[in-house]
Structure 1
Amino acid sequence: MTQPLVDLRGRSPWSVLPPLCLGFFMIMVDTTIVNIAVPTLQDAFGASLVTVGWVNSAYLLTFAVLLLVTGRLGDRFGPRPVFVTGLVIFTLASLACGLSGSVGWLIAARAVQGVGGALMTPQTMAMITRVFPPQQRGAAMGVWGSVAGVATITGPVLGGLLVETVGWEWIFYVNVPVGAVALWLSFRQLPVLPTHARSLDGVGVVLSVVGLTLLVFGLQEGEAYDWGTIVGPVTVWGVVGAGVLVSGAFLLWQRHRGDDALLPLRLFVHRNFSLANVAGAAVTFAMTGIFFPFTLYLQQVLGLSPLHAALVGLPGSLLSGVIAPFAGRLSDRVPGKWVAFSGFATLAVAIGILATQVQPGVAVWRLVLPMVLFGVGTGLVFSPLASLATSGLDQRTAGAGAGAFNTTRQVGGVIGSAVVVATLTSRLAATMPAAAQDAAAGLPEQVRGPFVEGFRQAASAGLGAGGGFDVPAGVPADVAEQLRAAARTAVDAGFASAAAQTLAVTVGVLVLGALCALAMRAHRPGTPADAGPAAPAEQVAAP
């Protein structure tokens, strides 16, 4: 029988997964659950769309920028205490979110929630890496990956149900009982692993947080400021440039610190670790890239309600949750690179097919089928990729490696969001006037020119699917009806075309991820190169 890497006092290493997966599930759900409640929050607080947007942005910002730091905290103080601290913060912040009496309070509570999520996330991977032997690690990562797949769609569906039935507060209150159960299980089942005493890289912490904050803020909020001036002389690209410079200074400092660094650069000597980080960013980029334009298309062009739009992806998400554990077990038997490559190839084909089906008036079942294939690809990618990222790391840097992997995934999502929004906006500027030109062919000659010009001006102003043509006063009723029908046709056709072209961008990014998987070393699971330096079983304190 395979022995675990730590002495669990007779317990199976599988006993650590329930609290880790419950905590990780809450984190992943809360990255998407708020989106469905945006209109409700606008009405509840009388706030603008930009202000309410910060309810989600504040969470994603604090979550992304702290992952490097919190990963190293797990190495320094142990995964269990850091995970438990994050779980308590996340649960209490969720309660504060539900009790918020103003949008400012809600944004602040969401930022604190992101801190709790950042404390927990690297510990889930680090604990699995340190507790499970290499021969079982893929299966364990498969369970972890299935949580990510199911949570992807659970957020919008659960959010829609709660908002429409008991109120927006419950999208946060629901975390309280789940967090309490996860906390109880954590004290019962998570082992206290040995720590590696070393000073925390204070300068590295500051440079990391400042650099990532500037970079993530600039990319995340660039569209809100039209990629121009934020305030006074401060511009979006100035903030992004400053983030790049500070991040560069961070890397130079890490090189100087060596093994005592917040992010030991020797981690990237491992070929699979480096490539898995790029591939992880690619898959998160693609997942962001598909859901933003696709969700808008479902609601604005096909006219689906938010809940019905979320249900389009439900079968694929459930299938992803079923496939991920099997993919993890498969990566324990064959080199994980081939499983990950198959996942990337499946995702690229799925989105390619989806892009051909995004049309006005299409039957919804024709969209569900490629989304099912998308779920298969997601299930094949996440767990083998996480296992490949950490399998070559030693026990002293498992937390740092997990923090780096999760950071690159989150930054990949931020970059994906910025690129996709910019691409969709630019394509709308071209597809809307073209669609208006086609729709105008059936209109009376005297109104064709103003009709097309109205759409061209709306597209130039960045109004996209929300803009169009206003029927002039004094137009006969029959002509006015023709104009409205032509405008609806132009909006639907123009937006569908722009969304399809935007989806195609993500296919290219997934091809990059597939190439990274192909370039990885095909070590057999359990070999020394896969497992990292040999080490005796760690002695742990009973929970």
Structure 2
Amino acid sequence: MVDKKPSVKSNLYLGLGALSLAIFLVANDFTAFSPALPVVEQEFQSDLTTSQWVISAYALVCGVLIVSGGRLADMYGRRRTFIVGLLIFMFFSFLGGIAGSMGMLLVSRAFMGAGSALIWPSVLGMMYSLMTPKNAGLAGGLIITICGIANSVGPLVGGFLADYISWRWILFINLPLSLVVLYLCFRVIPPDSLNVPIEKLDYRGVALLSSALFSLLLAFDFVVDVGFKNYLVFGLFMAFFLLFCLFILVEGRAAEGALIPPDVAGNKSFVTAACVALLIAQFFYAGFFFIPQYLSKVHGASATIAGLGLVPLMLAFSVFGFVAGNVYKVLGAKLIVSIATLLMALGLYMLSHIYQDGQYIRLVPGLLILGAGIGLFNSTIITFAISVVDPRRASLAGAIIFMIQIAGGAVGLGLNTTIVALAGDISYGISQAFTLNAYLAMLSFIICVLFIGSKEEKS
């Protein structure tokens, strides 16, 4: 009896540690490849538009499936769903690590995204169940903090591994760490109670949205080689338009089983948050992707140095993400996201002079300002989106915003890559892409000022 309480406390810490490590691995894989892609391009003799799929495939699949992953976790048990997701993530990390072609690597990354979509919402639910009701609110904050750290150190880890071991170890390193998570999960996470599936998964919605976004990304890819006037490109853009319209039609008829239920889709405050999140997502991955590309291809930097080049952005991102959580109740969502979008617009405008400035040191102020804006924005927009819906929809609302940010980021990266590739010169192309992104950030600022209320109102 004497050892019982310490044992329970120890299991709590081990459980939280295991789940935190799982989220770290998933989030780290979004950014770890960014400084290593020039090395991957060289090995597989691929170009910029192909290599960006290493990030886009992972993000697109994860983003589109994350809401369904949350529903699967509620239906069949969080631990069970988590374990399946982790096994998928591990298996395809191994396949990606031994990939002999770019095609095999991209397929592996897509399936890793599917595993991540099962892991992410399951972890959030299990963290809440491990903590007491009094401390349950810490779970969301802990996950956001871990994601920020993982996104920040990802380029450093990826660059180091690509330079001193092999880029393949960005994937192989997932295996031993995932085994540790799996062992601790079986040991300290309580089994799921058997639930009867009472929800329906929106298979048609997921399939239509995935197909629509894939068609759009593929169109961006082909534009670089054959131009906008090609029939194939026109057909892909038309496919995106028709599939997306069909997705909206199907969602309208799916009612409560829809990917985005009617009561959430009809909430004006939530829709505003979603629109702003979608606009910001268009350039979220661009900074992580193009700054290392610029340092590597223009300045001849190694993968490690290219990863270190992101430190100002990552540092500001982490610090201001923490600040946002502490000032939310005092300043409110409207003021914070307005300041955040304005900072992002300014940072992107400063970075758009990359073509004229050349020297890295001149990019640092823009990176710091952009990172501060992203840090303030990310946690605030999720908190705001959750606060304006019915409390019973809080988890779903958060998952939908994640879906928009991740899948939208994949589309944005494809668009930015097309702009850079069509420019011919990488410096000039990045300058053009960042100029467009600055305008998108300013549009987001205007939407925030005009349509986000000073006080959150639930539907």
Q: TM-score, normalised on structure 2?
A: 0.82
Partner of 1:510: 441
- Preserved CA contact (<8 Å) 1:350 1:373: yes
What amino acid maps onto 2:109 in structure 1?
R
Q: What secondary structure does 1:324 align onto? A: helix
What amino acid maps onto 2:431 in structure 1?
A
Q: Which has the higher helix share?
A: 2
| CA displacement, residues 191-250 of structure 1 (integer Å, 9 cap, x when unaligned) | 95997852414xx313422x22332222323343226879xx972332332233233223
Partner of 1:250: 247
CA drift at 1:118:
1.6
- Preserved CA contact (<8 Å) 1:336 1:522: yes
Residues 268-279 of structure 1: matches in 2 within 5 Å?
A: 268-279=265-276
Q: What's the % identity of the aligned pairs?
A: 26
Of 302, 307, 314, the residue aligned with 2:304 is: 307
Residue 28 of structure 2 is aligned to residue 32 of structure 1: no
Of 392, 402, 406, the residue aligned with 1:406 is: 402
- Preserved CA contact (<8 Å) 1:70 1:119: yes
Alpha-carbon spacing, 1:105–1:253, altered in 2? closer, same or farther (3 Å): closer
Residue 90 of structure 2 is aligned to residue 91 of structure 1: yes
Partner of 2:178: 179
Of 354, 359, 380, the residue aligned with 2:356 is: 359
What amino acid maps onto 2:452 in structure 1?
M
Of 431, 452, 456, the residue aligned with 1:520 is: 452
What amino acid maps onto 2:23 in structure 1?
F
Moved more, 34-43 or 373-382: 34-43
Residue 318 of structure 2 is aligned to residue 318 of structure 1: no
CA drift at 1:264:
1.0
Q: What secondary structure does 1:226 align onto? A: helix
CA drift at 1:140:
5.1
Distance in 2 between residues matched to 1:309 and 1:287, nearest whole Å: 18
- Preserved CA contact (<8 Å) 1:67 1:122: yes
Partner of 1:500: 431
- Preserved CA contact (<8 Å) 1:129 1:398: no
- Preserved CA contact (<8 Å) 1:70 1:403: no
CA drift at 1:302:
3.5
Partner of 1:164: 163
Residues 157-306 of structure 1: matches in 2 within 5 Å?
A: 157-184=156-183, 186=185, 188=188, 197-201=197-201, 204-209=202-207, 211-226=208-223, 235-306=232-303
Q: Unpaired segments of 5 or more residues in structure 1?
A: 1-8, 429-463, 466-494, 533-543
Distance in 2 between residues matched to 1:65 and 1:276, nearest whole Å: 18
CA drift at 1:20:
4.4
What amino acid maps onto 2:407 in structure 1?
V
| CA displacement, residues 471-518 of structure 1 (integer Å, 9 cap, x when unaligned) | xxxxxxxxxxxxxxxxxxxxxxxx544433331211121123333433
Residue 281 of structure 2 is aligned to residue 350 of structure 1: no
Distance in 1 between residues matched to 2:368 and 2:300, nearest whole Å: 21
Distance in 2 between residues matched to 1:12 and 1:523, nearest whole Å: 40
Q: Give RMSD over aligned pairs.
A: 3.8
Moved more, 328-337 or 312-321: 328-337
Moved more, 108-117 or 52-61: 52-61
Residue 419 of structure 2 is aligned to residue 423 of structure 1: yes
Partner of 2:4: none
Partner of 1:5: none
| CA displacement, residues 305-330 of structure 1 (integer Å, 9 cap, x when unaligned) | 33222212213313322332332132
- Preserved CA contact (<8 Å) 2:220 2:418: yes
Q: State the number of aligned residues.
A: 447
Partner of 2:3: none
CA drift at 1:418:
3.3
| CA displacement, residues 91-144 of structure 1 (integer Å, 9 cap, x when unaligned) | 232233324455554343323211101212344566678999999888654443
Alpha-carbon spacing, 1:77–1:108, altered in 2? closer, same or farther (3 Å): same
Alpha-carbon spacing, 1:42–1:65, altered in 2? closer, same or farther (3 Å): same
Determine which structure has more spread, i.e. the larger CA radius of gyration. Answer: 1
| CA displacement, residues 392-431 of structure 1 (integer Å, 9 cap, x when unaligned) | 44465445434422221123213322332343355x3xxx
Partner of 2:72: 73
Partner of 1:381: 377
Partner of 1:390: 386
